[in-house]
Structure 1
Amino acid sequence: MATYKQIQEFLTEKHGRTFKSCWIADIKNQHGLTKRQAPNRYDPDNRVHPCPEEHKGKVEEALRHFEMI
C-alpha cells in the first residue's frame, strides 16, 4: 500500500498541482480503506476539507495506479 506522500508525489507529477492529504483521506474513506478515525479530528461526522468534486477522479486514478481500489 502506498503512503500519502507517495500518492501526493504521483499526483503532483501527473497533474502539476499539490493535493491535500485530507482529500486523499476523504476518498479512501469513501472507498472503505480507512481503519480508524484520527484522534485529533474536530468533528467525527464532518470533514474540514472534503475532496472537491473536480479532483475526486484524479485522486481515485492515483489510488487505482497504486492498486488500492
Structure 2
Amino acid sequence: MATYEQIRSDVRSSTGKTMQNCWIAHVKELNGLAPKAAANRKSLNERVKPCPDNMRPLIEASMRRLGLIK
C-alpha cells in the first residue's frame, strides 16, 4: 500500500501542487479505504480540514496510479 508521502510526491510531480495528509485521509475514507488514525485528531466523527472538491480528483488519480483504487 502506498504511503501518504508517496501519494503527496506523486501529486506534486504530476501537477506541482502540494497535498495535505488530512486531505489524503479524507479521500481514502471517501473511497472505502481505512485511513490511519492521527494522534492529534480531535474527533473521529468530524473533519476540521476536509479535502477541497478541486483537489479530490488529483489525489484519486494518484491513488489509481499507485494501485490503491481502481
Shared fold per TM-score greater than 0.5: yes
- 1:2 match: 2
Task: Mark the runs of 5 or more structure 2 residues left unpaired by the alignment.
Answer: none
How many residues get paired? 69
- 2:54 match: 54
Residue identity opposite 1:10 in structure 2: D
* Structure 1 outlier segments of 4+, above 2 Å: 35-40
Q: Name the one with the larger helix percent.
A: 1
Residue identity opposite 1:44 in structure 2: L
Task: Mark the runs of 5 or more structure 1 residues left unpaired by the alignment.
Answer: none
Taking structure 1 as the reference length, what is the TM-score of the superposition? 0.88
- 2:16 match: 16
Cα RMSD between the aligned structures?
1.4
Identity value in percent: 38
**Take 2:37 and 2:67, find their aligned partners in 1: how far apart are those partners?**
22
Taking structure 2 as the reference length, what is the TM-score of the superposition? 0.87
